[in-house]
Copies of this chain bind each other. A is one copy, B any other.
Amino acid sequence: MVASLRLPSLTSLLFPATTRYPAALRRAVCLRNRPASGLAAAPSGTAAASTDSHRLRLDQAVTPRSQDFNAWYLDVIASAELADYGPVRGTMVIRPYGYAIWEAIQDYLNVKFKETGHSNMYFPQFIPYSFIEKEASHVEGFSPELALVTVGGGNELEEKLVVRPTSETIVNHMFTQWIHSYRDLPLMINQWANVTRWEMRTKPFIRTLEFLWQEGHTAHATPEEAEKEAKQMIEIYTRFAFEQTAIPVIAGRKSKLETFAGADTTYTIEAMMGDRKALQAGTSHNLGQNFSRAFGTQFQDENGERQHVWQTSWAVSTRFVGGIIMTHGDDTGLMLPPKIAPIQVVIVPIWKKDTEKTGVLSAASSVKEVLQAAGVRVKLDDTSERTAGWKFNFWEMKGVPIRIEIGPRDVSSNCVVVSRRDIPGKAGKVFGISMEPSTLVAYVKEMLEEIQSSLLEKAVSFRDSNIVDVNSYEELKAAISSGKWARGPWSASDSDEQRVKEETGATIRCFPFEQTQGIKTCLMTGNPAEEVAIFAKSY
């Protein structure tokens, strides 16, 4: 529990560390009093080596993941200072540590988008209500979730304005002005923006009233080009998920029922969270001519004929941060893949006597400089107000991949101790790594790579051991009720799909691109099936 971090505070006297708070109170405490402020009441002035008592108390800062996944998730977000609730129901404040993860996501994707020929730009967030109504399935999908501006500058507006839930409509309105000839195509743009959807059940990062995302929008002369683009973008998202965030998503096509409101085809990447629920982590839509017909987005082709453009849109949002937390985190807290960790290495200097302090701090500083110069994102936690043990636990909870410890004996032997966040206890601890710059840098960089791979491997094996191949509805139901994903041949109707949802709570997450071989028989109808689908409960 977060409040127990205040040592010795009034709260810890009132609620001994072993007391279980009522869940509601715990939530309120976690999200209102972040640890760093609560922690400020700790005894100051002395720094000591790690002690088991510190570790014990801090272990209880976060509800164990195995005990209550949702409580654990909220605790991690509060304790690791990733986000906080905003004053308006369902809104979220993204705090610096959480925002830095989003910045890492942006930095990577922004480069990929530009490499593949997209330009950033910005569309206004206020959309005339009439625009939303133009594309029939779009209005059906989005109208229940809209926030409407009805007053501006003190006056009731003649036409109410929609705060964008997504921008296909306004994008098409502008595309009609920019696209005239085939020479204007393809038109490929992206924007980083906030969007608003009036969700009833919200959860930080996963589903909030307002969230941040990028939305790409493209227009092409042929359906083949649009299809190629939609596939290219889901491929970029897939690589990003695997290589940067160590999340082994399954990429595939959505069923008709789960397709985006206004798309012909939606491609998706589906991630398995630690509780084995699926998270839709990114989507890429082939919009066909749905919006271009609704908005009259036309071009003159090489033969002088007027044609409607073929379009795509694709998005990844701050939800991805939630996916990272729920894929890699453990009972201790957050665990960040090195490639997107805001801090890759934390250095904790350890001293008992003041006579040791100078030598230890100066060694710690030079280690910091060496790593920083080598491009490693490193933090030196040299405050005297916390014990080394407290710091160990704090940075573990924040998910920093590597900790370097430097004590007086290390200084005299010119060595450091290196601990991996992903391997708890002594097994993840290596003593006697030379401080000699080239040795240390090479060691740290290799270990970062190793951690990155190891997180991915672990996630892959978790994912694969939790997907069951099923050949009948009974098997599907058994798999779902045991908390797993079910994969089986499917060629049944929309209403059969709806029935599965109602009876099991699971939906078709996708028809994966990677299909199993062999003759397939629909698990529901026994008819021939061309593809397997993946069913799972989802966020």
Contact = CB atoms under 8 A, between A and B. Distances in A.
Interface of A: 32-34, 36-38, 40-41, 84, 86-88, 91-96, 98-100, 102-103, 119-128, 131, 143-154, 160-161, 163, 170, 173-174, 177-181, 183-184, 189, 193-194, 196, 198-200, 209-210, 212, 385
B87 A180 contact: no
Contacts of A147: 126, 149, 151-153, 161
A119 B96 contact: yes
B163 A88 contact: no
Nearest to A208: B124
Contacts of A181: 37, 40-41
A449 to B, nearest CB: 26
A179 B174 CA distance: 45
Contacts of A41: 181
Secondary structure class of chain A's binding surface, majority of residues: mixed
15 contacts: A34-B177, A37-B179, A40-B180, A84-B177, A88-B124, A93-B174, A95-B121, A96-B120, A125-B210, A126-B147, A145-B153, A147-B161, A150-B150, A152-B198, A193-B194
Nearest to A122: B94
Contacts of A33: 177
Contact of A36 (B119, B163, B184, B193): B184
Contacts of A154: 143-144, 146, 198
A126 B209 contact: yes
A153 to B, nearest CB: 3
Contacts of A199: 153
A120 B177 CA distance: 36
A170 B87 contact: yes
A179 B33 CA distance: 9
Contacts of A84: 174, 177-178
A190 to B, nearest CB: 10
Contacts of A143: 154
A83 to B, nearest CB: 9
Nearest to A96: B119
A320 to B, nearest CB: 14
Contacts of A93: 121-124, 174
Given A87-B170, A127-B87, A170-B86, A96 B151 contact: no
A184 B37 contact: yes
A124 B144 CA distance: 21
A142 B326 CA distance: 41
B148 A121 contact: no
Contact of A121 (B34, B99, B196, B385): B99
Given A163-B163, A194-B193, A149 B148 contact: yes
Contacts of A128: 87-88
A86 B121 contact: no
B210 A126 contact: yes
A152 B148 contact: yes
Taking each of A124, A153, A199, which has the highest tally of chain B beta carbons within 10 Å of its own beta carbon?
A124
A125 B126 CA distance: 13
Contact of A124 (B91, B100, B121, B152): B91
A131 B93 CA distance: 16
A147 B155 CA distance: 9
Contact of A153 (B37, B161, B198): B198
Contact of A212 (B87, B122, B178): B122
B124 A92 contact: yes
Contacts of A119: 96, 99-100
A146 B181 CA distance: 40
B34 A178 contact: yes
Contacts of A209: 124, 126, 152
